[in-house]
């Protein structure tokens, strides 16, 4: 939700306590990313409320896509109102709290790919000073509670997949990538059966997508 971050270690203790003010859910236009696992969980959320919602409906109704370099399409949550509040904010409360995206779940912490054999590196977002000073949170406890085994498995696999897509996409022109956009979004975000577990489907989809990108590149005379 912000760009002010400092590295933290697992045994560090942070004086943080959420006041449920909802401030971190406002002024978030183009800031809250929806990863494939987030889209799947949000679809499950609406399904649990009796709505026949598919992953593609989540992307169409609550998010918009945007390209990241090198032309890598991502989804970001929509906002509403002059204060650019998240589309899921209701008063000061998150209406999809149990299935909120990873970014929100980890806040005020975040992770990045680890170096020197570590799976992840951990960071603290320092953009809202008001929630610091009270409470006491051990960083490792926070991640244990808010970064599930399934989410870790997905994020680790996704970092690896993104590196592979990057290699292929860098060899294509924006026009070529535009042409492949539907397949890219389909395999990454939409091709999930909500009655089945996420991770196996994700890994299968990524293999399909990589094979498809390689095939397209070969047909266009590129090298991998």
14 binds ligand SF4 (CB under 6 A): no
Question: Residue count at the site for ligand SF4 (CB under 6 A)?
Answer: 23
Give me the DSSP letters along 2-27: -S-EEEE-TT-EEEE------GGGSS
Q: Are 121 and 1 in contact (CB under 8 A)?
A: no
Selected binder of ligand SF4 within 8, 43, 59, 104 (CB under 6 A):
104
| Residue 21 CB, nearest approach to ligand SF4 (Å) | 4
Q: What is the DSSP letter of 91?
A: T
Cβ-defined contacts of 149-152 (< 8 Å, 24+): 150/37, 150/198, 150/199, 151/37, 151/102, 151/105, 152/119, 152/120
29-48 binders of ligand SF4 (CB under 6 A): 32
25 binds ligand SF4 (CB under 6 A): yes
134 binds ligand SF4 (CB under 6 A): no
20 binds ligand SF4 (CB under 6 A): yes
| Residue 172 CB, nearest approach to ligand SF4 (Å) | 32
70 binds ligand SF4 (CB under 6 A): no
At residue 136, the 3 state secondary structure works out as: strand
Selected binder of ligand SF4 within 5, 14, 23, 33 (CB under 6 A):
23
């Amino acid at each position: 939700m912000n760009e002010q971050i400092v590295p933290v270690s697992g045994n560090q203790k942070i004086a943080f306590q959420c006041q449920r003010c909802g401030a971190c859910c406002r002024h978030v236009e183009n800031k809250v990313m929806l990863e494939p696992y987030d889209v799947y969980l949000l679809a499950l959320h609406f399904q649990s409320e009796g709505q026949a919602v598919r992953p593609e409906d989540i992307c169409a109704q609550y998010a918009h896509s945007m390209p990241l370099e090198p032309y890598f399409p991502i989804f970001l949550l929509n906002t509403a109102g002059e204060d650019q509040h998240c589309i899921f904010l209701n008063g000061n409360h998150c209406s999809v709290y149990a299935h909120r995206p990873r970014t929100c779940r980890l806040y005020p912490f975040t992770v990045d790919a680890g170096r020197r054999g570590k799976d992840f590196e951990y960071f603290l977002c320092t953009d809202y000073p008001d929630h610091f000073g009270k409470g006491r949170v051990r960083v490792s406890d926070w991640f244990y509670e808010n970064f599930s085994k399934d989410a870790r498995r997905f994020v680790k696999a996704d970092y690896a997949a993104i590196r592979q897509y990057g290699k292929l996409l860098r060899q294509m022109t924006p026009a070529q990538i535009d042409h492949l956009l539907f397949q890219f979004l389909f395999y990454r975000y939409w091709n999930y059966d909500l009655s089945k577990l996420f991770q196996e489907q994700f890994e299968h989809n990524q293999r399909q997508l990589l094979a498809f990108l390689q095939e397209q590149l070969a047909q266009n005379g590129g090298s991998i």
